[in-house]
């Protein structure tokens, strides 16, 4: 993704004036928080990544809302208006034509009657999560917080609960850092399908319910034909985004804010980020602990996020993968990642200086299916036994080793890099201790070439080798060609095996 950040001393006078007027016009909200961060590149590039995020490594996300109701997976609010799509056909057969029964009519069906945030947060902490992220609003423009700016929110409709607030309360009770995700920036163009009509058939030319002016609080106003990129170019929409996400930040003061886009809207986005940082500095008595993450290369200014993807080497800056155990929203018959696949991803990402944020798929009612509960339990067993090599760790000189015959791929977004074996080794480090993880259960002796006596990666001899989570005394030898660890006699139940390696001082 091309980065378009232009250094400037201050935001443009006109836009600053518009922002000031727009913010002050919202009498129920305070102005932009004053502080050391100004909405300029010169200030944003001074950002320092907080230790809590660098130590946390593993977060869980609730990518959950009324789009789960039809049990058809992600983007249902858009696809029901796309004539000929599977979502449109399902909606037609089960709810009716979108000119008569649209997404606005799906929202009241979301009751979340089995949602127990306290119980779920206990499960997430037990699974090893160190931070939790709540959906704030998806592209459907439905707010999951008690908003005074948007009547289409979860307190007024659907479950009639402050979803963000209840998630936050549960997270803090469990000692987890709390974040919110905003997908609103893309909503203005994404949701334009609701303003359309069928092109053929008996309802050809009949406007969908998004064309009704009474519904534009949900579906937005019409965008111009040339406003069709992921992020809108309409400044009125941009300022609406600013006020809305500022309200979310002001109401909950989260530790992390995620944007489902590059940094939105240039100076408007800079203003929001600086407000977020200054607000956090005030909250934390002069120390900046906030994390902003978006889908744009970091340069050290924020945490870069890769959707369903990983980096192919150690990153200079902390980063994050966001992904889901299954579909982004509940879908009947979906296949979940196994606990082993999640653990493999976690170790691979951590070895490259990243964090894993994974969506745990909830039913529309708000609970978890039995197989999801089993996956979480298995992840928790592994993190409990192997966490010393994950939490608080830092990358080593290289991320690891891979089989000689494994193809070389340039990784990035939408490539989760499965297909690991015991010959895929990943390293993490804490002080004088190195951890080496086999991403598959070894069936033979383990050879780690990076730790050979002849390796240029370390000049120190190895003092001890042990298997994490086991008291078995291992047989090992450091030769000129490799560190050889004899296959342990008793292997743990999990597939990703960790070894603790200490060096002579």
Residue with tokens 């964090």: 355
pLDDT of the residue at 32: 78
Distance CA 377, CA 161 (A): 28
The phi and psi torsions of 10 (rounded to 5 degrees) equal -150, 165
- Pair 69, 109: CB distance under 8 Å: yes
Supply angle C-alpha 204, 207, 210, rounded to 5.
Answer: 145
pLDDT of the residue at 347: 98
Cβ neighbours around 60 below 10 Å, total: 26
Torsion region of 384: left, alpha or beta (phi above 0 gives left; psi -120 to 50 gives alpha): alpha
Looking at the chain, the domain(s) classified CATH 2.60.40.1180 span 400-503
Question: What is the CA 240 to chain-centroid distance, rounded?
Answer: 24
Question: What is the CA 463 to chain-centroid distance, rounded?
Answer: 39
Angle of helix 370-386 versus helix 117-127 axis, rounded to 10: 40
pLDDT of the residue at 34: 86
Distance CA 61, CA 178 (A): 10
- For the CA atoms of the chain, what is the radius of gyration? 25
Instruction: Assign 171 to helix, strand or coil.
Output: helix
Name the E strands within 176-264: 177-182, 256-259
Residue with tokens 């307190």: 155
pTM strictly above 0.85: yes
pLDDT of the residue at 416: 74
- Pair 401, 450: CB distance under 8 Å: yes
Q: Which residues of the chain have pLDDT under 50?
A: 1-30
Q: Give the tokens for residue 273.
A: 């980020």
Show Cβ contacts of residue 474 under 8 Å, excluding neighbours closer than 6 positions: 465, 466, 467, 485, 486, 488, 499
The residue among 451, 437, 433 whose CA lies nearest residue 504 is: 433
Torsion region of 469: left, alpha or beta (phi above 0 gives left; psi -120 to 50 gives alpha): left
Show Cβ contacts of residue 408 under 8 Å, excluding neighbours closer than 6 positions: none
Looking at the chain, the domain(s) classified CATH 3.20.20.80 span 33-294
CA of 458: how far to CAs of 141, 299, 403, in Å?
A: 53, 29, 21
pLDDT of the residue at 166: 98
pLDDT of the residue at 414: 59
Cβ neighbours around 494 below 10 Å, total: 18
The residue among 353, 359, 440, 361 whose CA lies nearest residue 396 is: 353
Q: Give the tokens for residue 368.
A: 């978890």
Instruction: Assign 257 to helix, strand or coil.
Output: strand
The CATH number of 400-503 is 2.60.40.1180
CATH classification for the domain delimited by 33-294, as one of 3.20.20.80, 3.40.50.2000, 2.60.40.10, 3.90.870.10: 3.20.20.80
Q: Strand order of the sheet with strand 476-478?
A: 446-448, 483-485, 476-478
């Amino acid at each position: 993704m091309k980065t378009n950040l232009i250094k400037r001393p201050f935001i443009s006078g006109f836009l600053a004036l518009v922002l000031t007027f727009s913010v002050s016009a919202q009498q129920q909200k305070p102005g932009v928080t004053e502080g050391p961060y100004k909405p300029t590149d010169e200030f944003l590039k001074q950002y320092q990544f907080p230790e809590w995020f660098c130590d946390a490594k593993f977060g869980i996300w609730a990518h959950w809302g009324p789009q789960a109701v039809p049990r058809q997976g992600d983007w249902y609010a858009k696809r029901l208006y796309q004539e000929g799509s599977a979502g449109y056909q399902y909606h037609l057969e089960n709810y009716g034509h979108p000119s008569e029964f649209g997404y606005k009519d799906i929202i009241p069906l979301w009751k979340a009657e089995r949602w127990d945030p306290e119980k779920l947060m206990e499960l997430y902490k037990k699974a090893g999560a160190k931070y939790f992220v709540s959906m704030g609003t998806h592209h459907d423009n439905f707010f999951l917080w008690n908003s005074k700016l948007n009547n289409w929110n979860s307190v007024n409709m659907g479950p009639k609960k402050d979803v963000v607030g209840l998630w936050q309360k549960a997270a803090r009770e469990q000692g987890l850092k709390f974040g919110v995700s905003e997908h609103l920036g893309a909503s203005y163009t994404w949701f334009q399908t609701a303003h359309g009509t069928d092109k053929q058939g008996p309802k050809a030319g009949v406007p969908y319910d998004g064309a009704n002016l009474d519904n534009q609080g949900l579906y937005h106003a019409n965008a111009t034909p040339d406003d069709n990129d992921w992020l809108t170019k309409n400044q009125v929409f941009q300022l609406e985004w600013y006020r809305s996400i500022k309200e979310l930040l002001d109401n909950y003061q989260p530790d992390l804010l995620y944007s489902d886009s590059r940094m939105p809207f240039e100076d408007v986005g800079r203003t929001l980020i600086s407000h977020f940082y200054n607000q956090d500095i005030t909250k934390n008595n002069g120390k900046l602990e906030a994390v902003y993450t978006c889908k744009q290369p970091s340069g050290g200014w924020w945490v870069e996020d890769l959707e369903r993807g990983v980096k192919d080497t150690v990153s200079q800056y902390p980063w994050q993968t966001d992904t889901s155990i299954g579909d982004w929203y509940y879908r009947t018959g979906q296949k979940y990642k196994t606990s082993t696949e999640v653990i493999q991803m976690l170790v691979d990402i951590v070895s490259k200086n990243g964090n894993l944020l994974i969506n745990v798929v909830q039913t529309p009612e708000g609970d978890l299916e039995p197989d999801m509960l089993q996956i979480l339990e298995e992840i928790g067993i592994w993190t409990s036994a192997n966490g010393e090599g994950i939490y608080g760790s830092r990358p080593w000189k290289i991320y690891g080793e891979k089989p000689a015959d494994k193809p070389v791929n340039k990784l990035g977004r939408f490539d989760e890099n499965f297909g690991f074996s015991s010959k895929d080794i990943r390293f993490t480090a804490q002080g004088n201790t190195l951890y080496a993880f086999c991403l598959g259960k070894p069936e033979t002796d383990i050879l780690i070439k990076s730790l050979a006596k002849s390796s240029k990666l370390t000049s120190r001899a190895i003092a001890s080798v042990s298997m994490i989570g086991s008291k078995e005394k291992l047989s090992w030898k450091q030769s000129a060609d490799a560190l050889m660890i004899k296959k342990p006699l008793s292997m743990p139940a999990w597939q990703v095996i960790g070894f603790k390696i200490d060096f002579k001082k």
